[in-house]
Amino acid sequence: MKTSRIWTLGASAALLAATLATPALSQETIRIIGHRSPPNEYYTGAMQKALPEGRVSVELMPIDKEMELASITMSSKSDAIDVLYLTDSSLKRFAANGWLEPLDDLWAKYKEEYKLDDFPPAIMEAVSYDGHIYSMPVLTNTELFFYRKDLFDEAGIAAPKTMDDYQNAAAKLDSGRMSGTIMSLKPVDAALNETHWYLNAVGDGWFDENWRPIFNQEAGVKAITRMKEMSEFAPRGFTSHANDESTINLQQGLAAMGLQWFTRAASMDDPQKSRVVGKIDWVAPPGGGARVANDGFAISAFSSGDKEEMFRMLAEASSVDSMIKGAEFSMPPRLSVLQNEELSEKYRWYPAARAALEDGKPFPALPDFNDVGDIVTRHVLRAVTGEVEVKAALDQAAKETEELLASRGYYKN
Amino acid sequence: MSMRSQGRRRGYLLFAALCIFTFVNLIPLLWAVLPSFKYPADAFTIPPTLIFEPTLEYHREVWFENDFFRYLINSLIVSAGTVLISVPCGTLAAYALSRIPRRNSGPILNVLFTIRMFPHMLLAIPFFVMGTFLNMIDSYPLLILALVAINQPFTIWLLHGFFLDIPRDLDEAAAIDGCNSWQAFRIVILPLARPGMTVAALFSLLMSYNEFLFALVLTGVETKTLPVAIASFGGEDISLWSISAAGAVGIMLPIVVIMLFLQRNLVSGLTAGAVKG
Amino acid sequence: MVRWQRGLWLFCLPSFGLLTIVLLWPLAYAIYLSFFDYYLGSDVRTFVGLGNYIDLLSETRLWNSMWTTIVIAFGSVALEFVVGFALALALYGNRIGTKAFSTLLFLPHIITPVVATLFLKWMLASNWGLVDATLLTIGIEPPDWLGNPLWAKISVILADAWIFTPLIMIVLYAALQGLNNSLLEAARIDGASNWRILRHVVIPALIPAIIFTISVRLMDVFRFFDTIYVLTGGGPGTATETVTMYTYQLGFRMLQVGKASALGVITLVIVAVLLLTINRMLTRIYRKGDQ
């Protein structure tokens, strides 16, 4: 007994000593956190290669975990994170909070060396807030309309151009095991993308010019009613489907069409993942207004590392050469790469993607849009599942949105 | 004779029922292990495929390309640290609480419980602030301390019931022999408390090995534990579903092996009276 | 106080010292924050007194989620208890391979909860989940496990039960092993039926263990969040949004830390009152049974 107790005490003392001796965080490494996706795996890999081995550590995780970690870290002004991946809407939020390092000076300094004027104005707007540049644009992602070319040909219908075409096609191809269309309505992110498309394609969008919600007006009610009608052709379980589930439904030949991200297109032709190799084709989403996202990597305002070095690392990863290689996974935001004709030959979905980029829309550019999205998707889902009437649900959503935006000081005058 | 054969038949029925239930209960686990050997195209089919071309690629990727060994070591350090601090502290406190009048110990135990019911996610934010202030984010001690703290109420409660079962006469006899309270505890009580401490240790181990939220917030590159590492596999591309499955098998194996060896002590410890409070 | 008891408070020192520094401080801080309008994104926090509490208590969302929580909590604890107890009795009565059974049945509780829920998701996912794929293959149209508001609740309850029934089973099984065999023998010789033995001898003897398991499970099921987060994310709509899911939304997604803390305190009070009542009730039944 006695010996074992001494052993225990000794072990715990040794353990404590060992743990206390561990350095809190070696200041040498640059810590990058990001959302795990094929393009991010590629681009963070490029960042690691840009600096000597071991200087850069990358952690990729689901987007909600990344946002939690980043919010908690940066709200307490901790320097635990140096570089982070942000979508355009989160970028506005983080920049408005003062959590990000403005990159204007570095941008000007390295403009020549890294050809930074190659990014189109729309992209620069997406990575800026209040007149300052906050992130290095790394990838453009657009929603595409995926459809089963073979089934459409068989049924003698053309790829849909309008929402009516879409509804008719889905109704026609919906049979037994085959769902007419995928719908990704899992709260919050997936449902928000789908809602964004309907509100733009059928409705008049989200807000008026004073950030007052208009999605509960007639056009918005029509949009969500249409969404509810379309859900008849959706696979069972669509309310808990995110991009993964919808992708699998397409890959397993369980759904005939629907809205999905560019980043998913390549996997449709990958025989290890897909049973419909060569059968899927793409067009720009009918009705237009599906989401376009411009994502980038920003530098934390609280990082204690060498920010110029980090900037050069980011610029290196988004160089022209790097983006040509990354074009398989996401649309390169650089004009010179985007217009490269070889890409369409190599990747079948590029023509559709260019068209989608033209008539797509980013999320409204207010820093609080993610929070608005939380509110609206919750009520849209209640409407789609029939818990409440569409109009009542949207009115409630509009009311809560106005309250939230008022409390964040939007309607001062 | 009829009664005996009836009893025997009932015994067989019971055995058969247990077999069936156990099997059905384990289907989710078995089904989850399969995709780790499948390419995604085979993993999500109707009807479900049992015959497929197996691949070890995803297991290799998890263990050799993703630093799983390092995360495993982190997990083991954190779990061992938590158990080694939590159980001794809890034992001492539980013993003391079992030896003072109930009207004093009752309220203290109730307060401990109330603390336990507070949503952990709301503690995570102050914890992070504290860790930043002390510059201890991404270090083992902070995570260990946090886990010990959230684990203390349960440990104390568990052991308190256990000590109540050990007659006070023993302490008193020791006191008459001239022992002070520490000596009485160490010489007389502690040897008897061993099964209870084992139970407390096993529950602490399970909790600390599996804890996710604090581990996410308080660890970083150096100290990431397995549950945090595995969460990073969920995401955009479905080939990751196979990797998730491989990761899930990876995280399961060590703790299952440990528990296989120790579960006997869990049952015997619990039988010895840990839950008679 | 007797002499040997004098030094006892020193025994509490390490544990309570640690709790005060590491746990009570954040808890007090959270309660303090609950009186402020505090958005994590800005440095400004305004004192609003009970404002957050009044806001929350007058919301239908809070009461809806509270109701959902109660349904799910009691549903899963009841299921876990009934199945766990039955399994414990089965293990107790079984003669062959009991050790193997108890080990295998305990497995789901050992797996990390997030991972365990993921496993269940692969069972229940529509179309390609094992349950659906099997039923569809033999031509049965299964319900929408995660997409129908009622079935989603049931799925969440089943998931929680899969993970936590083993805990109840093992505790009750251990308690059964501690039973006084002579009592059972005496009852059997008196010719009491199995059911009467169970009701009048076994259950009364197990009451402490029963109270223990039920309280621990109820306490945790109110706080637990992994299962629902992974399985349904609170959906469809708000069908499985529990109080903790709502707290998560407020605190981690909207970063309204003040309001989220107030919600935490409200949950704490409600659960504490509920548990106290249940404990009292069970103890009273126990005492009555004794007479």
In this structure, the answer to whether residues A74 and A117 fall within a common structural domain is yes
Residue A25 confidence (pLDDT): 45
How many domains does the structure of chain A reveal? 2
In this structure, the answer to whether residues A92 and A222 fall within a common structural domain is no
Please answer yes or no on whether C26 and B123 come within 8 Å at the CB atom. Answer: yes
Q: Which domain holds residue A55?
A: 30-141+293-359
Q: Which residues pair with A85 in a beta bridge?
A: A297
Q: What is the C-alpha separation between A266 and A349, in angstroms, rounded?
A: 8
Residue A4 lies in a domain: no
In this structure, the answer to whether residues B209 and B270 fall within a common structural domain is yes
The residue with greater pLDDT, A23 or B172, is B172
Indicate if the pLDDT at residue B229 is higher than 50: yes
In this structure, the answer to whether residues A370 and A346 fall within a common structural domain is no
Min Cα distance A280 → chain C (Å) is 20
Q: What is the C-alpha separation between A127 and A327, in angstroms, rounded?
A: 20
Residue C286 confidence (pLDDT): 67
In this structure, the answer to whether residues B180 and B244 fall within a common structural domain is yes
Residue B102's CB: how many other CB atoms inside 10 A? 11
Indicate if the pLDDT at residue C220 is higher than 60: yes
- Final residue of a structural domain among A359, A374, A396: A359
Give the amino acid at C182.
S
Of the candidates A147, A132, A62, A61, the residue with the CA atom closest to the CA atom of residue A100: A132
In this structure, the answer to whether residues B148 and B223 fall within a common structural domain is yes
Residue A2 confidence (pLDDT): 43
Q: Give percent above pLDDT 70 in chain B.
A: 91
Residue A316 lies in a domain: yes
- C261 CB neighbours in chain B (<8 A) are 122
Q: Which of C40, C145, C249 sits opposite A75 (nearest CB)?
A: C40
In this structure, the answer to whether residues A45 and A123 fall within a common structural domain is yes
How many domains does the structure of chain B reveal? 2
In this structure, the answer to whether residues B147 and B31 fall within a common structural domain is no
Residue C14 Cα distances to B8, B86, C10, C111, angstroms: 54, 10, 8, 31
Q: What is the C-alpha separation between C16 and C13, in angstroms, rounded?
A: 5
Residue A186 confidence (pLDDT): 85
For all residues of chain B together, what is the average pLDDT? 83
Residue A275 lies in a domain: yes
B227: domain CATH number? 1.10.3720.10
In this structure, the answer to whether residues A259 and A299 fall within a common structural domain is no
Residue A370 Cα distances to A19, B210, C202, angstroms: 39, 30, 56
pLDDT category at B273 given cuts 50, 70, 90 is low
Residue C5 confidence (pLDDT): 65
Q: What is the C-alpha separation between B190 and B219, in angstroms, rounded?
A: 35
In this structure, the answer to whether residues B206 and B154 fall within a common structural domain is yes
Residue B60 lies in a domain: no
Residue B256 lies in a domain: yes
Q: What is the C-alpha separation between A23 and A9, in angstroms, rounded?
A: 24
The residue with greater pLDDT, C235 or B274, is C235
A252/B contact by beta carbon, under 8 A: yes
In this structure, the answer to whether residues B227 and B137 fall within a common structural domain is yes
In this structure, the answer to whether residues A395 and A264 fall within a common structural domain is yes
- In chain C, the residue whose alpha carbon lies closest to the alpha carbon of B118 is C268
Residue A327 lies in a domain: yes
Mean pLDDT value of segment C181-189? 80
In this structure, the answer to whether residues B35 and B124 fall within a common structural domain is no
Give the amino acid at B50.
L
Residue B214 lies in a domain: yes
Residue A9 lies in a domain: no
In this structure, the answer to whether residues A199 and A254 fall within a common structural domain is yes
In this structure, the answer to whether residues A79 and A107 fall within a common structural domain is yes
Please answer yes or no on whether B137 and A274 come within 8 Å at the CB atom. Answer: no
In this structure, the answer to whether residues B253 and B116 fall within a common structural domain is yes
Residue A398 confidence (pLDDT): 96
A355: domain CATH number? 3.40.190.10
Cβ–Cβ under 8 Å, residues B99 and C7:
no
In this structure, the answer to whether residues B152 and B257 fall within a common structural domain is yes
Cβ–Cβ under 8 Å, residues C160 and C218:
no
DSSP string, B164-222: HTS-HHHHHHHHHTT--HHHIIIIIIHHHHHHHHHHHHHHHHHHHHH--HHHHHH--TT
In this structure, the answer to whether residues B251 and B165 fall within a common structural domain is yes
A60/B contact by beta carbon, under 8 A: yes
Please answer yes or no on whether B125 and A77 come within 8 Å at the CB atom. Answer: no
Mean pLDDT value of segment C166-170? 94
Where do we find the tokens 């499970």? C217
Residue B234 confidence (pLDDT): 61
Q: Which domain holds residue B231?
A: 66-274
Cβ–Cβ under 8 Å, residues C7 and B180:
yes
Please answer yes or no on whether C253 and A371 come within 8 Å at the CB atom. Answer: yes
Q: How confident is the model over B85-104, as pLDDT tens digits?
A: 999 999 999 999 988 888 88
Please answer yes or no on whether B237 and A76 come within 8 Å at the CB atom. Answer: no
Of the candidates B82, B72, B22, B74, the residue with the CA atom closest to the CA atom of residue B257: B72
In this structure, the answer to whether residues A250 and A209 fall within a common structural domain is yes
Listed by number, the residues of chain C in 7-66 with a beta carbon closer than 8 Å to a beta carbon of chain B are 7-9, 11-12, 14-16, 18-19, 22-27, 29-30, 40
CATH number at C59-290: 1.10.3720.10
In this structure, the answer to whether residues A260 and A195 fall within a common structural domain is yes
Asked which of A30-44, B23-37, C271-285 is least confident by mean pLDDT, the reply is C271-285
What residues of chain A have any CB closer than 8 angstroms to a CB in chain C?
64, 67-68, 71-72, 75, 93, 96-97, 177, 185-188, 235-240, 245, 248-249, 252, 254, 370-371, 374, 378, 381-382, 384-385, 387, 407-408
- C238 CB neighbours in chain A (<8 A) are 378, 381-382, 387
Residue C212 confidence (pLDDT): 82
Residue A226 confidence (pLDDT): 96
In this structure, the answer to whether residues A245 and A392 fall within a common structural domain is yes
B70/C contact by beta carbon, under 8 A: no
Residue B237 confidence (pLDDT): 47
Give the amino acid at B122.
L
Residue C288 confidence (pLDDT): 66
Residue B59 lies in a domain: no
For all residues of chain C together, what is the average pLDDT? 85
Residue B130 lies in a domain: yes
Min Cα distance A109 → chain B (Å) is 31
Please answer yes or no on whether B115 and C24 come within 8 Å at the CB atom. Answer: yes
pLDDT category at C68 given cuts 50, 70, 90 is very high
Q: Which chains touch C (3 or more CB pairs under 8 A)?
A: A, B
Residue C274 confidence (pLDDT): 84
Listed by number, the residues of chain B in 106-135 with a beta carbon closer than 8 Å to a beta carbon of chain C are 112-123, 125-127, 129-130
Of the candidates A271, A268, A266, A251, the residue with the CA atom closest to the CA atom of residue A346: A266
Please answer yes or no on whether A236 and C147 come within 8 Å at the CB atom. Answer: yes
The residue with greater pLDDT, A98 or B6, is A98
Residue A336 lies in a domain: yes
In this structure, the answer to whether residues A333 and A346 fall within a common structural domain is yes
Q: How confident is the model over C223-241, as pLDDT tens digits?
A: 878 888 878 877 777 788 8
The residue with greater pLDDT, A178 or B38, is A178
C167/B contact by beta carbon, under 8 A: no
pLDDT below 70 — which residues of chain A? 1-27, 413
